[in-house]
Amino acid sequence: MFDRRRLLGLRTALGLALAVVFSVAAPAHAGVLDAVWTAPTTNTDGSALSDLGAYRIYYSTSATPCPGSTFFTVASSTTTPPSNQSVSFRLTGLTTGAMYNVAVTAVDTAGNESSCSTVASAAAQVDFTVTPTGTTAFGNVNVGSSATQTFTVQSTRSGTITGTASVAAPFSIVSGSPFTLVGSGATATVTVQFAPTSAVAASTNVNFTADGDTVSRLVTGTGVSTGGMTLTVSKAGAGSGTVTSAPAGISCGATCSASFTSGSSVTLTATAAAGSTFTGWSGGGCTGTGSCTVTMSAAQTVTASFMQSSFALTVSKSGTGSGTVTSSPAGISCGATCSQAFTSGTVVTLTATPTTGSTFSGWSGGGCAGTGTCVVTMNAATSVTATFTLPSSFALTVTKAGAGSGTVTSTPTGISCGSTCSASFTSGAAVTLTAAPATGSTFTGWSGACTGTGACSVTMSAARAVTATFAITTTSFTDNPLVAQSTVVKAVHIVELRTAVNAARTRNGLAAAAWTDPTLTAGSTTLKAVHIAELRTALNQVYTKLGRTLPTYTDPTLVPGQTVCKTAHVQELRTAVTAIP
């Protein structure tokens, strides 16, 4: 904030000059003064000024305006003014020709005020003039007709002046208001119209206002009766049409004003053009959309309003495929919204987007063809068809996964996977896939277009892919593990191994092995060396097919009639068969 020492410093930093616009002005109009000063930058102690908040511009016709009760407050543009910053302010609402004394103070952001600057003096003057300066007479003007006069507004100072002109009926401002004057001597032309509605004299002031100053100029005119009254028709709205009268005289179109005998009744009829609608009358005592009857007791003006008609654009979709159609401008999103009204003459662009698996094959109707966008000009109700198609067939591909094995077949036929794992089916066909696990395997489920472990049903609306997963059935052996010199080798051990080995052979594309003594009966069938040898041979063939190293066996050579079946022989086979896919 300012302290007392700093306030005194501000006093020496403020210098004031008054720039005054001198011109010839009518008495009793408000005057202006332009005050200009240099912003303070330092305090009395030499430190930089950093908390400047505002200025107060005191003014008075007395010799000592500051301090005083009449002042303007002007916010500072910065709390730390740069060196030689020039600040200006216009004092308005002053008495023209009066001598004013003006002084400035600075106020910090805490509201503390400095001492007053030196006083500057000047006479207040108006900042613009209007010519002609006397009364402007329009003279005699026929009732129902009009006349115009112009006034020139001129700036008497530099800078920009913005103002307006106004006048009461039957006079009106035709052009030139509002006006802007840039720089001393700049001019603007304001046009005033006198349009009498009755045979009487009229007078009023045209008021020109800018920067709190108002200059008035008197205008006069007399309405004169011609024995007839003028009826004028105007048309409004975005549509089009014609207005005719009975008795004849108006055909608007071309002739929109005519004179009719005083006291006569004139009936106006509105006819909308194609693509437009007549929406009603205004003026002359007429409303609604029927005919308009006007009694010509004075000049009359009637307005007929026409609007552009709206037409429906309807989109239909056809074909075996699917997709959406959208419009620009927005309105149609078909999909859901397939019809929309557009204003007559609107150019609507339709865009077709096929869904996945479908193809947009073209337009018909509305003058559209081909597969690009469809552009329709809405001069009438229009229907457009977008055709989407599906391919004649789609591929269904089956993949098998997992350590197990099995086959997948289709209904209708086409897939037998096994060997044929992909086939094409007619678009829209329902295909059922069935998974059959091989011996020693289990079907664990579908993925892709199907889930679960039941049959897989696929509708062929697009190319589809399905995966069938098979797992190896876990083999459970009796007396597992076998304990040497403790567990007795039994017929069931051999039977279980035969089942597990043949399952492994089937999974890996080998035929099931044939066995000596195909049926082993517990308690009666003697276990032989050949039973073990056959199992070793059948299992070794699987290892060979898989490219694996053959298992190592106890008693590599089994001699019929000599070699006794041991628990080691059975346990080795169990270990080897469970180690392969």
Alpha carbons 74 and 56: distance in angstroms, whole number: 6
Q: Which long-range contacts (CB under 8 A, 24 or more apart) does 148-151 make?
A: 148/174, 148/191, 148/192, 148/193, 148/194, 149/191, 149/192, 149/194, 149/219, 150/189, 150/190, 150/191, 150/192, 151/189, 151/190, 151/192, 151/206, 151/208, 151/217
In this prediction, residue 506 carries a pLDDT of: 84
State percent of the chain over pLDDT 90: 45
Q: Judge if 164 and 268 occupy the same domain.
A: no
Amino acid at 104: V
Distance CA 87, CA 169 (A): 44
d(CA 161, CA 182): 6
pLDDT band at 374 (very low <50, low <70, confident <90, very high): very high
The H helix count followed by the E strand count for the chain is 4, 40
Residue 13's pLDDT is what? 39
Query: Are 520 and 436 within one domain?
Result: no
Among residues 472, 506, 527, the one where a domain terminates is 472
Q: Are residues 385 and 403 in the same domain?
A: no
403 in a structural domain = yes
Average pLDDT over every residue of 355-376: 92
From residue 228, alpha-carbon distances to 102, 200, 251, 260, 263 in Å are 64, 16, 18, 5, 9
Q: How many domains does the chain have?
A: 6
Q: Are residues 347 and 436 in the same domain?
A: no
Check pLDDT > 80 for residue 468: yes
Question: Helix H segments across 547-578?
Answer: 567-577
Question: Which strand (E) or helix (H) includes residue 244?
Answer: strand 241-246
Residue 439 lies in a domain: yes
Question: What's the Cα-to-Cα distance from 249 to each of 255, 264, 268, 291, rounded to whole Å?
Answer: 8, 13, 10, 16
Examine residue 144 and state whether it is found in any structural domain, yes or no.
yes
pLDDT, tens digit, 9 for 90 and up, residues 113-137:
888 988 988 888 778 899 999 999 9
| For residues 133-161, average pLDDT | 89
User: 280 with 379, same domain?
Assistant: no
| Residues 54 and 10: beta-carbon distance below 8 Å | no
Decide: residue 156, CB within 10 A, 0-12 exposed, 13-18 middle, 19+ buried: buried
Same domain as 135, residue 99: no
CATH number of the domain that 31 lies in? 2.60.40.10
Please, what is the Cα angle at 239 between 243 and 278, to 5 degrees?
A: 50
Q: Domain for residue 398, yes or no?
A: yes
Residue 117 and residue 23 in one domain: yes
Cα 558 from Cα 534, distance rounded (Å): 11
Q: DSSP letter at 493?
A: H
Q: Which amino acid belongs to residue 302?
A: V
Cβ count within 10 A of residue 504: 27
267: in domain: yes
- Examine the fold and report which residue of 175, 201, 224 is the final residue of a domain before the chain moves on: 224
510 and 403 belong to one structural domain = no
Final residue of a domain: which of 308, 339, 359?
A: 308
Residue 201, number of CB atoms within 10 A of its CB:
10
Does residue 570 share a domain with residue 497?
yes
Flag whether pLDDT at 238 surpasses 70. yes
Are 344 and 430 in a shared domain? no
pLDDT digits (tens, 9 = 90+) for 479-526: 888 887 777 888 888 888 898 898 888 888 899 999 988 888 877 777
The domain containing residue 416 runs over which residues? 393-472
Sign of CA dihedral 452, 458, 464, 466: positive
> What distances in angstroms separate CA 154 from CA 4, 91, 130, 135, 537, one per listed residue?
48, 20, 6, 18, 122
401 and 323 in a single domain? The answer is no
Same domain (yes/no): 285, 318: no
Query: For the chain, how are helix, strand and coil distributed in percent, rounded to 5?
Result: 10, 45, 45
Residue 23: pLDDT band with limits 50, 70, 90? very low
Range picked from 82-91, 305-314, 326-335 for highest mean pLDDT: 326-335
> Is 342 contained in some domain?
yes
126 vs 143: CA distance, rounded Å? 38
Rounded to two decimals, what is the model's pTM? 0.33
477 found inside a domain = no
Indicate whether 481 belongs to any domain. Answer: no
Determine if residue 531 is left, alpha or beta; phi over 0 gives left, psi from -120 to 50 gives alpha, anything else beta: alpha
